[in-house]
């Protein structure tokens, strides 16, 4: 596993996203067993960065993640746990309450990283960050970040965070390069902020892209691995794919060790077929 190193932290290039663990927007007990098996498999493979949110399965994803970590007796200091506060909870008192609730569901004493999940129109970002900074000072949260922020909001957040803003988590993949075009990636790279790519694998695109196929075939890897490697080869970019399939989990994890050449990166970025 390759890592991004910044602010004395080493963060895996590939983490594990927990959207659909325990359900989607609400808890779904019928997927509890498969969710626990997926997390157990991920931990066995070596995943140590897990990304969750209070809104995932209505908080149930956090409960299942905490349960599996405890049952597998993974030392807390070996894990990097990210969670997120929902846009409906950005008032300072709500931020503090949301964090406490996430910690209670996880049964953990602190979060490594806490994000604003989505910006909200009319939000008072300064007040929200007062509460977020308070959580860091109290030791409940180690690092702060945001998600789905455009360049203007990202700059505001970076200025308001008392500790270095760690990440902006955004949709980023070969077919979706919005956050290159809007200047966010360049700003992150110039200011030591991680860009965390979610939804990194667009399966129809991956299946039909001839450049990906040729690069993957030449390297003896899957097209999905080549697509992830396009992300993780970039400086200050990490990714959090999700899979319930142990083989796919292992392939995703191994993709972090594939470093594409400048020529391969250019071919993929230009979309040559």
Domains of the chain: 3-202+234-245 (3.20.20.100)
In the three-class reduction of DSSP (H, G, I as helix; E, B as strand; rest coil), residue 222 is classed as coil
Among 232, 239, 142, 164, residue whose Cα is nearest residue 6:
164
pLDDT band for 271, please (50, 70, 90 cuts): low
pLDDT band for 270, please (50, 70, 90 cuts): confident
**Does the pLDDT at position 251 exceed 70?**
yes
Mean pLDDT, residues 68-91: 98
**Does the pLDDT at position 112 exceed 80?**
yes
pLDDT at 1: 95
Q: Are 172 and 215 in contact (CB under 8 A)?
A: no
Rounded to whole angstroms, how far apart are CA atoms 252 and 226? 10
pTM reported for the whole predicted model: 0.96
Mean pLDDT, residues 3-10: 95
**Does the pLDDT at position 272 exceed 60?**
no
Residue 4's φ and ψ, nearest 5 degrees, are -95, 125
Catalytic hit among 3, 47, 56, 114:
56
Is residue 154 within a helix (H) or strand (E), and if so which, with residue range?
helix 151-160
How do 9-12 and 3-6 pair as beta strands?
A: antiparallel
**Tokens standing for residue 1:** 């596993």
pLDDT at 211: 93
**Does the pLDDT at position 52 exceed 50?**
yes
- Residue 66 makes CB contacts below 8 A (sequence gap 6+) with 105, 106, 107, 108
pLDDT at 34: 98
pLDDT at 203: 84
28-42, 191-205, 257-271, range with greatest mean pLDDT: 28-42
Rounded to whole angstroms, how far apart are CA atoms 229 and 14? 10
**Does the pLDDT at position 273 exceed 80?**
no
Mean pLDDT, residues 60-82: 98
114 is an active site residue: no
**Tokens standing for residue 28:** 């779904």
């Amino acid at each position: 596993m390759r890592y991004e190193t910044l602010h004395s932290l080493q963060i895996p290039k590939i983490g594990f996203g927990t959207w659909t663990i325990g359900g989607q927007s609400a808890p779904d007990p019928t997927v509890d067993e498969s969710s626990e098996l997926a997390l157990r498999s991920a931990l066995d493979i070596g995943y140590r960065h897990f990304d969750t949110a209070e809104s995932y399965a209505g908080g149930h994803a956090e409960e299942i993640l905490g349960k599996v970590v405890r049952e597998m007796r993974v030392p807390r200091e070996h894990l990097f746990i990210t969670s997120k506060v929902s846009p409906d909870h950005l008032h300072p008192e709500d931020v503090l309450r949301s964090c406490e609730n996430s910690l209670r569901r996880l049964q953990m004493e602190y979060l490594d990283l806490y994000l604003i999940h989505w910006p909200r129109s009319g939000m008072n970002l300064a007040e929200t960050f007062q509460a977020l900074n308070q959580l860091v000072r109290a030791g409940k949260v180690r690092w702060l970040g945001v998600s789905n922020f455009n360049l203007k909001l990202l700059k505001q957040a970076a200025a308001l965070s008392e500790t270095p803003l760690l990440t902006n988590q955004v949709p980023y993949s070969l077919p979706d390069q919005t956050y290159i075009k809007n200047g966010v990636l360049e700003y992150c790279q110039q200011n030591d902020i991680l860009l965390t790519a979610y939804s990194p694998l667009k399966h129809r695109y991956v299946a039909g892209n001839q450049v990906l196929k040729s690069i993957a075939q030449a390297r003896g890897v899957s097209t999905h691995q080549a697509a992830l490697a396009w992300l993780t080869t970039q400086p200050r970019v990490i990714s959090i794919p999700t899979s319930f399939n142990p083989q796919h989990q292992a392939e995703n994890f191994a993709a972090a060790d594939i470093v594409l050449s400048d020529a391969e990166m250019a071919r993929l970025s230009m979309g040559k077929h």
